[in-house]
Structure 1
């Protein structure tokens, strides 16, 4: 173990001693610090110390990426940790980021959660770009508030509260494992009242017409977006289920969403009506692959994913049209509201409740759910055909059955 005063000049030209695979040059000015040089010329910083009666070696980094001055600083920090009774390997470890802690929680606690994929997608879209790279111990209450403000403005208060609930769960889990961490989340951060978190928003007829018209006229929408939005409503699917629609999932007039990307983790079959098949269209011109994403901005190679930007452009067009007509602004709505709207419209179109629930892929409980293995494809096909016809009447401005009933009731009452 050669000892000497380490200088930048020496560190830059140091070589392993003859016949050795590696040589540690200990710095006489910083006890325990050494420059390790391998036979191949690689240089790294090590620190040798005693902990619990055992000799322990830790690495600081490589030279010259970690300079001599920085290595001296790290050695001083390690010595200070030892004097405080702490393990330098833990005390000097790089602080864990929020993303790293979320990933660790998902691996240890979140495996198998039914909503795991949805949560991961929400974090990647809404949280990681802003706070994902920050050390979790540096995140303050104000950071959480500003994050929730942005999510509320862009995606609505319910999404903000869903994100808050997940972050609270991760922070509390991390606090139970770390002596020094305290969660920055406190009561009062939620953006909605408990009863309001169970969303009930559906689009009324005028709003459906506004969406349809705006899809045809908004200047900044991706080319696939009008077809994509209409498909969500006409298939009563969730946002990611529709965006991931791939030609390989088609079998004749049926679309099977595989269980690995469906919320219930079960395959879900959706009969394709003529209206939806028209939205699907043909194979993109020039695409060479055997399978392609139906809604894509890359010619079928990748599924559409620019949800927030496209939704803002659509909302801006709706707002412009309503202002021009001197109407009130359209209340905030989300893409998931289209699925809830589809369910309501099926009831209006006379679809049996049981059949409508199966269109949505809801699991039927009790004895019936256990023993009734009929796939209800014909019933679901009829339900979706009724939905398509009702939507066509709404967007064309023709009276619906419900409108005619109200007119008749008004005439009788007069």
Structure 2
């Protein structure tokens, strides 16, 4: 054994070897090729023991990950005091090195395995786990028992700062069952998910576009197409299509030619997680055009999904002169215009694919589909009057 006086500085730099402490008899630092462990040597019942009481990790990311010399001495004194009191050796549990403990990522994987074994709604499970893994990406390698309430709060705030308040709430909603299960199975000491509050969402937007703004945006979408480029062309068409159909941006971006048959858009994947049939007016069909069944209607480069939406939207704003509006406002505007046309509320809700408790018992699916078709057809006629039947002529007027 090396006779070196241990201190808080040299314990991080000593070469491999065994270093007994000169302050607390029996305490020893063992430096191996990869680890530095604290152990206590003692005799009890005629037998000699040398249990590991902790690990020293130089430059540990968290102070709690590493045992310094002061903590090691306190722990050794406590253990030796218990030995003198007659505590049997088998009642003492050796500590687990942080690198060997289950990480937060491992914990989430174990939860997923358990849930898949139980069965149930796998799609909802996949979406929830994707939200958790993305939101807690920076913490997945952290030992699960070290993941704290402050860490979860920081992850929540980081998402909320991006303007994704709803997404931050989804993170808390989906991480809750994982931490409750982990606490019940003793993988973590405490489930603190319910102690982390949701970020209060800002007031709901009520922005609708005026007829003047609709005409300016509609006309500018053609100007954007004339500037060339796959992205500009697809985005200009997408804007007009979303305004005509009152559907969500992501649903439009995912639309493939094969999803449309006999002027009916069969939407199997959407935010509402239910089948949605959208009868398309002729104006919308003219925007769609023709293509291979597996191709996207509004593609980006190399026929992939359209990217750079924010830049394209900014350019459209410049061309149109319309400000302070979002693509989702097209959907709200279309719904508002259909309401002014006198279309029944349940018909508009059906177009928007909102849940309508009790309506299914009154109207058959075919009747609802007919209502949607009639509502969108009436809206297309009105929109055509608002923007002008000849958009090219409208461009020349400006």
Give the TM-score, by structure 2 length.
0.59
Counterpart in 2 of 1:22?
none
Separation in 2, partners of 1:74, 1:339: 62
Q: Structure 1 residue 243: deviation in Å? A: 1.9
Q: Structure 1 residue 75: deviation in Å? A: 10
Counterpart in 1 of 2:324?
331
Separation in 2, partners of 1:239, 1:351: 23
DSSP 3-state at the match of 1:256:
strand
DSSP 3-state at the match of 1:202:
coil
Q: Structure 1 residue 106: deviation in Å? A: 11
Counterpart in 2 of 1:369?
360
1:347 aligns with 2:347: no
Q: Structure 1 residue 316: deviation in Å? A: 5.0
Q: Structure 1 residue 280: deviation in Å? A: 0.8
DSSP 3-state at the match of 2:233:
coil
Q: Structure 1 residue 277: deviation in Å? A: 0.8
Separation in 2, partners of 1:121, 1:224: 29
Across the aligned residues of Structure 1 and Structure 2, the Cα RMSD in angstroms comes to: 4.5
1:169 aligns with 2:133: no
Q: Structure 1 residue 186: deviation in Å? A: 4.7
Counterpart in 2 of 1:388?
380
Q: CA, structure 1 residues 185+278, in 2 after alignment: closer, same or farther (shift >3 Å)?
A: farther
DSSP 3-state at the match of 2:349:
helix
Q: CA, structure 1 residues 142+355, in 2 after alignment: closer, same or farther (shift >3 Å)?
A: closer
User: Which of 226, 243, 262 lines up with 1:252 in the alignment?
Assistant: 262
Once the two structures are overlaid, the 10-residue window that deviates more, 78-87 or 275-284, is 78-87
Q: CA, structure 1 residues 92+225, in 2 after alignment: closer, same or farther (shift >3 Å)?
A: same
Quick check: 2:256–2:296 contact (8 Å CA) kept in 1? yes
Counterpart in 1 of 2:275?
267
Give the TM-score, by structure 1 length.
0.57
Quick check: 2:280–2:373 contact (8 Å CA) kept in 1? yes
Counterpart in 2 of 1:215?
221
Task: State the aligned residue count.
Answer: 299
Q: CA, structure 1 residues 122+231, in 2 after alignment: closer, same or farther (shift >3 Å)?
A: farther
* Rg comparison, structure with higher value: 2
Counterpart in 2 of 1:21?
none
1:147 aligns with 2:159: yes
Unaligned runs of 5+ in 2: 1-15, 19-31, 40-50, 56-78, 80-91, 391-398
Quick check: 1:214–1:314 contact (8 Å CA) kept in 2? no
Superposition pairs for residues 73-112 of structure 1, below 5 Å?
A: 73=36, 79-80=52-53, 85=93, 88=96, 92-93=100-101, 95-97=103-105, 100=108, 104=112, 107=115, 112=121
Unaligned runs of 5+ in 1: 1-27, 31-67, 153-159, 285-289, 323-328, 399-414
Post-superposition Cα deviations, 1:138-173, rounded to whole Å, max 9, x if no partner, equal: 736455434322x22xxxxxxx22112112224444
Quick check: 2:281–2:377 contact (8 Å CA) kept in 1? yes
Q: Structure 1 residue 225: deviation in Å? A: 1.5
Q: CA, structure 1 residues 239+103, in 2 after alignment: closer, same or farther (shift >3 Å)?
A: farther
Quick check: 2:135–2:171 contact (8 Å CA) kept in 1? no
User: Which of 292, 295, 306 lines up with 1:292 in the alignment?
Assistant: 295
Separation in 2, partners of 1:337, 1:147: 23
